[in-house]
Amino acid sequence: MTTTTAAHDDHGHHGPAKGIMRWVLTTNHKDIGTMYLWFSFIMLLTGGVMALIIRAELFQPGMQLIEPEFFNQMTTMHGLIMVFGAIMPAFVGLANWMVPMMVGAPDMALPRMNNLSFWILPFAFGMLLLTLFSEAGAPNFGWTFYAPLSTTYAPSSVTYFIFGVHLMGISSIMGAINIVATILNMRAPGMTYMKMPLFVWTWFITAYLLIAVMPVLAGVVTMMLMDIHFGTSFFNAAGGGDPVLFQHLFWFFGHPEVYIMILPAFGIVSHIIPTFSRKPLFGYSSMVYATASIAFLSFIVWAHHMFTVGLPLVTELFFMYATMVIAIPTGVKVFNWVSTMFQGSLTFETPMLFAIAFVILFTIGGFSGLMLAIAPADFQYHDTYFVVAHFHYVLVPGALFAIIAGVYFWLPKWCGNYYDEFLGKLHFWLSFIGVNITFFPMHFIGLAGMPRRIPDYALQFADFNAVASVGAFIFGFSQLLFLYIVIKTIRSGKQATPEVWEGADGLEWTLPSPAPYHSFSEPPQVK
């Protein structure tokens, strides 16, 4: 109470409250952003441990360490935790930190809701994780939870899973509304839409995607709940329901979800590459249009996840063509990044290394995505390790590398100190090598015919599985180095200038480092 009064007396220098209650009650965008980022890092390690359990079991053919039942729980929880617990909250955390600073606002538009949307998450994931210790075990039907495996044949913990998904959805929708409200209402005078930084643009579009599709996910899990507990038959063929309906609904959410996890990454990379090329972003307006096109297309391609369910021929053709079209705006983005680097004056600090790796490895993921779009060939790729390789290429050296790049890029602004460049580069090279050793061989074993989500495999897949497992451990443990670097930077390090990077451009770099508790108390003027 005393501290609050003292702070109120000291106008213009609002400081945070002291102790644990600072974090529980905070409505400050930086505090909440920090909590989001730490939460997602904890989830990254949790989901990472599960990935390592999976890779350890798959190191050799035969069952060595765990039982098939627990293996299925691990693949399911790994997917759910990485998608909903690590990648999505990390982007929300970055948005919390950066969007107000980039648009010249003091804070987010809806600070109390901001607090609530974060604090829901630990409970949602706590509940999900606790099912691991229940008698029935954790959900075991894959992160895509296809009915009827997830309804009629599910363990009883599925009800907790459904409640958890509802909570995550509420959190995401509130976070998205907040970001939209901030961007629409709190931009500095003079910042027209086509002057917004690309991270703001990509998040603006992502937020609309979230608002559009999270209710669909909530709807589909509610239908599951009804089927399980209230005697309906939405997805139960024996009761006149339709298991394929589940997949249509799930992927109507699921495909935009893929772009929810990559559009903000595009934004981050579109800041880092110009900065370290010392050159403005090439084709700003085409970047914005490409992002919007990808977002639009994401709503009309969902059934490319369902090429083998027996859709009619015309449906297959439509979804094949629509999916192939996505390659065009995505290609435009890649070409723009390369052109931004062209004739620049390049330096290779850690954020730039991660950003360049993003462009190359995400493009490789894009290539395999294009191959998967070709419906006839997809009959051979579908549900194999080729798909596993594809989406890990877009999500790990794609989304995750962009998040890591963003953290290195903005960390000096957040805490006022530069990170240790040598350690940062070491972290990059370990991650880069590890990620490729892990996921590249998965293309081979997938094409050679290994289905995904199997706890044991035929002998011809043994060699590459062993290689992938070694890579996974290299990649996994190098993330502990990341933790060390971040903690070290928070505690000490070379004092950062307000501009931080030589080529930095944007309102966030006009604030001192570390940025003040309330970003802009006077709106800056944008020319």
Which sequence positions are flagged as catalytic? 78, 107, 143, 171-172, 255, 257, 259, 270, 304-305, 330, 333, 452
506 touches another protein by CB under 8 A: no
Cβ distance to another protein smaller for residue 382 or 392: 382
Residue 307 makes CB contacts below 8 A (sequence gap 6+) with 316, 319, 320, 375, 378, 379, 382
Structure tokens at 20: 């644990």
254 touches another protein by CB under 8 A: no
Residue 38 makes CB contacts below 8 A (sequence gap 6+) with none
Give me the 91-130 binding string for another protein, x by CB under 8 A, dash otherwise.
----------------------------------------
Query: DSSP string covering 222-249, please?
Result: HHHHHHHHS---SS-GGGT--HHHHHHH
C-alpha distances in Å from residue 376, one per residue of 125, 336, 372, 373: 39, 31, 9, 9
Give me the 173-202 binding string for another protein, x by CB under 8 A, dash otherwise.
------------------------------
359 touches another protein by CB under 8 A: yes
Q: How far apart are CA 179 and CA 267, in angstroms?
A: 15
Nearest distance from C-beta of residue 431 to another protein, angstroms: 18
Nearest distance from C-beta of residue 266 to another protein, angstroms: 16
Q: How far apart are CA 68 and CA 45, in angstroms?
A: 23
The region of 5-13, 107-115, 297-305, 352-360 touching another protein under the rule CB under 8 A is: 352-360
Which residue in 19, 189, 231, 310 binds another protein (CB under 8 A)?
A: 310
Nearest distance from C-beta of residue 296 to another protein, angstroms: 15
Residue 321 makes CB contacts below 8 A (sequence gap 6+) with none
433 touches another protein by CB under 8 A: no
Which residue in 49, 327, 433, 511 binds another protein (CB under 8 A)?
A: 327
The region of 115-123, 252-260, 379-387, 477-485 touching another protein under the rule CB under 8 A is: 379-387
CA angle, 190 then 178 then 408, to 5°: 80
Which residue in 65, 184, 296, 308 binds another protein (CB under 8 A)?
A: 308
Which residue in 49, 374, 426, 526 binds another protein (CB under 8 A)?
A: 374
The region of 86-94, 314-322, 423-431, 486-494 touching another protein under the rule CB under 8 A is: 314-322
Q: How far apart are CA 375 and CA 10, in angstroms?
A: 65
Residues in the chain: 527
Which residue in 38, 208, 335, 473 binds another protein (CB under 8 A)?
A: 335
135 touches another protein by CB under 8 A: yes
Cβ distance to another protein smaller for residue 81 or 445: 445
Which residue in 16, 111, 122, 142 binds another protein (CB under 8 A)?
A: 142
342 touches another protein by CB under 8 A: yes
Which residue in 463, 492, 495, 512 binds another protein (CB under 8 A)?
A: 463
Q: Is 101 exposed, middle or buried (0-12, 13-18, 19+ CB in 10 A)?
A: buried
Structure tokens at 268: 């981050």
Nearest distance from C-beta of residue 468 to another protein, angstroms: 12
Q: How far apart are CA 84 and CA 321, in angstroms?
A: 29
First to last CA, the chain: 43
The region of 184-192, 317-325, 411-419, 486-494 touching another protein under the rule CB under 8 A is: 317-325
φ/ψ (deg, to 5) at 417: -120, 150
Find out whether 390 and 369 touch, Cβ atoms under 8 Å: yes
Q: How far apart are CA 98 and CA 104, in angstroms?
A: 10
Quick check: bond before 243 cis, omega within 30? no
Residue type, 516: P
243 touches another protein by CB under 8 A: yes
Nearest distance from C-beta of residue 68 to another protein, angstroms: 5
Find out whether 212 and 249 touch, Cβ atoms under 8 Å: no
Q: Where do the H-state alpha helices sit in 261-312? A: 263-277, 284-297
Considering only residues 26 through 55, tell me which ones interact with another protein, judged by CB under 8 A: none
Q: How far apart are CA 330 and CA 332, in angstroms?
A: 5
Q: How many CA atoms lie within 13 A of 193 on its CB side?
A: 9
315 touches another protein by CB under 8 A: no
Residue 387 makes CB contacts below 8 A (sequence gap 6+) with 372, 381, 446, 452
Cβ distance to another protein smaller for residue 339 or 436: 339
Q: Is 27 exposed, middle or buried (0-12, 13-18, 19+ CB in 10 A)?
A: middle
Which residue in 12, 19, 189, 376 binds another protein (CB under 8 A)?
A: 376
79 touches another protein by CB under 8 A: no
Nearest distance from C-beta of residue 327 to another protein, angstroms: 6
The region of 86-94, 164-172, 259-267, 320-328 touching another protein under the rule CB under 8 A is: 320-328
The region of 31-39, 160-168, 360-368, 507-515 touching another protein under the rule CB under 8 A is: 360-368
61 touches another protein by CB under 8 A: yes
Nearest distance from C-beta of residue 302 to another protein, angstroms: 16
64 touches another protein by CB under 8 A: yes
Structure tokens at 7: 């702070």
The region of 23-31, 184-192, 217-225, 312-320 touching another protein under the rule CB under 8 A is: 312-320
464 touches another protein by CB under 8 A: yes
